[in-house]
């Protein structure tokens, strides 16, 4: 998606450790007009799917997931990274290691929010090693729901997650795929 790529080039910052900082427009501060255009683009790709839930991870995936869900007239669900006092009842659970934050998390979704009747579109702001997306797919499988695809804002194509999922036949739709990234610049996949 050209507008997102232009914004990444203009406002993104490449930090050490393969971190792309997009805090000024995608998370931390959110350019809502851009996010709306991104959701339109995702909807155009998946519009023939009868999506009943958009599933993401707190916190930075929530806005993207909600804007996409609005276009499918369905609910958004986000996995939490810890049990909180207002999660009761049974949950689906999957392990997820964050290479960015160097933390091991469990992703948790209460069972009442996903069922075998659901057709689920996964959405997240980043896809790198694929830990979060794989954990969400595992939760969808545990729920007996159908995975119809994965919508990603920015895929780090130089890491293995996206292509490994494509090789398994998952419909990964990334609005921007970065093939090279360093202090000298960012190169997108054509």
Residues that bind its own copies (CB under 8 A): 13, 15, 17, 19, 21, 23-25, 27-33, 35-36, 58-59, 62-63, 66-67, 69-70, 73-78, 80, 84-88, 100-102, 109-110, 112-113
Tokens 């069972």 -> residue: 111
Distance CA 137, CA 165 (A): 10
Question: Least CB distance from residue 133 to its own copies, whole Å?
Answer: 18
- Both tokens of 28, joined, read 């931390």
27 vs 134, which CB is nearer to its own copies? 27
Query: At closest approach, how far in Å is the CB of 178 from its own copies?
Result: 15
Name the minimum Å distance from CB 169 to its own copies.
Answer: 28
| Closest CA relative to residue 22, chosen from 179, 178, 190, 189 | 178
Which residue, 164 or 186, is less far from its own copies as judged by CB?
186
Distance in angstroms (rounded) separating the CA atoms of residues 45 and 115: 24
Residue 37 or 164: the one with the smaller Cβ distance to its own copies is 37
Q: Which two tokens stand for residue 41?
A: 């683009």
Beta strands 119-127; 53-57: pairing state: parallel
Q: Which is nearer to its own copies, 115 or 141 (CB)?
A: 115
Q: How far is the CB of 172 from its own copies (least distance, A)?
A: 23
CB atoms within 10 A of CB 21: 13
């Amino acid at each position: 998606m050209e507008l997102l790529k232009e914004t990444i080039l203009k406002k993104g910052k490449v930090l050490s450790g393969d971190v792309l900082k997009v805090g000024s427009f995608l998370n931390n501060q959110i350019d809502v007009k851009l996010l709306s255009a991104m959701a339109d683009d995702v909807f155009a790709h998946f519009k023939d799917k009868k999506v009943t839930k958009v599933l993401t991870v707190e916190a930075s995936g929530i806005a993207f997931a909600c804007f996409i869900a609005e276009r499918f007239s369905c609910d958004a669900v986000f996995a939490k990274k810890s049990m909180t006092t207002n999660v009761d009842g049974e949950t689906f659970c999957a392990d997820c290691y964050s290479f960015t934050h160097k933390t091991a998390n469990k992703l948790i979704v209460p069972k009442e929010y996903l069922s075998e009747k659901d057709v689920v579109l996964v959405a997240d702001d980043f896809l790198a090693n694929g830990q979060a997306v794989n954990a969400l797919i595992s939760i969808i499988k545990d729920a007996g729901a159908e995975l119809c695809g994965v919508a990603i804002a920015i895929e780090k194509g130089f890491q293995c997650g996206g292509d490994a999922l494509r090789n398994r036949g998952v419909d990964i739709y990334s609005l921007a795929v970065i093939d090279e990234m360093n202090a000298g610049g960012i190169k997108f996949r054509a």
